[in-house]
Amino acid sequence: MWLSEVMLQQTTVAMVIPRFRRFLERWPTIEALAAAPPEEVLSEWAGLGYYARARNLIACAREVAALGAFPTSEAELRKLPGLGAYTAAAIAAIAFGEAATVVDTNVERVIARLHAIERPSAEARAEIRTYAEALTPADRPGDHAQAMMDLGATICRPKKPACPACPLADDCLAFASGEPERFPARKARRERPHRHGVAYWTERDGAVWLVRRPAKGLLGGMAALPGPEWSAERSSARSFATVHHGFTHFTLDLHLVERAEPAGGDGWWQPLDRIGEAGLPTLYRRAVEAGIAEETLAA
């Protein structure tokens, strides 16, 4: 439950299923995961995004291994690294049968429509939680939590909700209004700032020079092409390829610049025909693919 909930944060079910199975095959117990080298876990996580989750996963595994078992209450689960209100409640309810109220974005939408809450969910979370708590049963709270989440994911969808098929339709104020999609109101989108970065491309004997990013910060601990910090200003260095990438809070143009000698301190030569084994996050995997493509065209 813990692993699946962490993996499913901001990642699609279709992508998670095969990765979840592979992860469990490699580290079948909490003790095995706790003993794993962090770089191996981060490499296995590559492509799932939001890499702070992987770092918290390692820290949590080590703490649980030291405790001897997972805590069984929502309050104690909240004390573990990386377990926020939703994840702790989901594990407590589904794995341990505690009458914890589980509220994800799907549940927020169901509750907001049921009570015709017009404000954006982010502004009405306290009110939504109060209503959700009133619905949470003492009996089979895990089944209730999963039913509510699935209701929001499959019936009470953001667009074109299947209201006639909804078991809550008779009591739903949004359905009664005739405009269920109006609830809850959408939060106004802020324009994301744009940044530029440089990635040094040093190729030798069919291999490219890679480094590991600092443990803290964005893409912390992940394999990467070396380069300076990203900034709002574009570097004057001449690039031969550019990769555009969107993060949650900003967009980035990563410019590939050829360099004769390796940069970035400690690193390693990664054979290009085994680049898939490097554990590159999506940004740098795409950058390497762009570098290979440009080198091929030049040849």
Q: Active-site residues: which are they?
A: 5
Q: Which of 23, 183, 29, 70 is nearest to 119 (CA)?
A: 183
Q: Which of 235, 225, 213, 217 is nearest to 272 (CA)?
A: 225
* Helical segments of the chain, H only: 2-8, 13-26, 30-35, 38-45, 52-67, 74-77, 85-96, 105-114, 125-135, 141-154, 173-177, 282-298
Contact in structure between 30 and 61 (CB atoms under 8 Å)? yes
Rg (CA), the chain: 23
Give the torsion sign (CA, 240, 246, 252, 257). Answer: negative
DSSP assignment letter at 231? B
